[in-house]
């Protein structure tokens, strides 16, 4: 594990390297982010951003999504993979948002997890990006890999255990942005197969780089 001083330096280094800690998914409405995150499962954000303009144009309101024919909606999202289950979940979520939450995306973990296809990763992203809830920790593949390499967690692979461990050591007000920066860092520098340790802003405090 890294010391509090090392953790602070890692956070500061990532803030300096990636000052704009923004979600890569493009959306205009709260529920559009919810649906985009569902589409991003086993798919790149770049691919989702290519698909959603036509999708959101065809279904411009939550009511349109709720009334959508699943087969037609599948045609818009086919290239995102797992399009049948994703279409089913999007339509089901739209109906639940209208029936149970008055057409608004709910702001608690429990309510979000009740929506079709929503797990803790999606719920934490929504809580952090839409509601700016302190302590929101989004654990994706980049977060799993890099938090272990940095030594922020010790050999953990289970997302929920990593979420708990990171929440315990990250400043609550910085946790959501930290996770966005980890994604940017994972794409640009700390890649899965060939990390660019020589170009890493966190190398001096990285367990993987130092071998400790």
Q: Which residue do the tokens 């024919």 mark?
A: 69
First to last CA, the chain: 10
Please tell me whether residue 71 adopts helix, strand or coil conformation. Answer: helix
Distance CA 58, CA 52 (A): 10
Please tell me whether residue 209 adopts helix, strand or coil conformation. Answer: helix
Please tell me whether residue 5 adopts helix, strand or coil conformation. Answer: helix
- The torsion angle over the Cα atoms of residues 23, 27, 30 and 33, rounded to 10 degrees, is -60
Report how far apart, in Å, the C-alpha atoms of 37 and of each of 40, 66, 152, 193 are.
5, 18, 25, 25
Q: Is 205 a catalytic residue?
A: no
User: Please, what's the b/e burial string for 190-205 (b: 16 or more CB within 10 A of its CB; e: otherwise)?
Assistant: beeeebeeeebbbbeb
Q: Among the options 86, 89, 121, 177, which is catalytic?
A: 121
Which residue in 179, 186, 188 sits closest to 149, CA to CA?
Answer: 186
User: Largest alpha-carbon pair distance within the chain?
Assistant: 56
Q: Among the options 20, 29, 99, 140, which is catalytic?
A: 140
Answer whether 2's CB lies under 8 Å from 152's CB.
yes
Q: Is 161 a catalytic residue?
A: no
Residues recognised as catalytic = 121, 140
């Amino acid at each position: 594990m890294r010391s509090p001083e090392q953790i602070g330096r890692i956070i500061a280094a990532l803030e300096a390297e990636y000052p704009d800690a923004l979600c890569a998914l493009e959306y205009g409405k709260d529920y559009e982010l919810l649906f985009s995150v569902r589409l991003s499962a086993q798919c790149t954000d770049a691919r989702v951003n290519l698909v959603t303009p036509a999708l959101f144009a065809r279904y411009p309101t939550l009511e349109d999504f709720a009334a959508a024919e699943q087969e037609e909606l599948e045609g818009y999202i086919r290239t995102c993979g797992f399009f049948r289950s994703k279409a089913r979940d999007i339509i089901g979520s739209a109906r639940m948002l209208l029936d149970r939450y008055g057409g608004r995306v709910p702001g608690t973990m429990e309510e979000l997890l009740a929506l079709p296809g929503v797990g803790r990763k999606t719920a934490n992203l929504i809580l952090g990006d839409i509601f700016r809830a302190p302590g929101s920790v989004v654990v994706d593949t980049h977060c799993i890999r890099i938090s272990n390499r940095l030594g922020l967690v010790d050999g953990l692979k289970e997302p929920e255990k990593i979420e708990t461990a990171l929440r315990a050591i990250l400043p609550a007000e910085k946790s959501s942005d930290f996770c966005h920066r980890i994604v940017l860092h994972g794409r640009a520098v700390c890649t899965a197969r060939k990390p660019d340790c020589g170009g890493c802003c966190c190398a001096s405090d990285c367990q993987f780089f130092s071998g400790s």
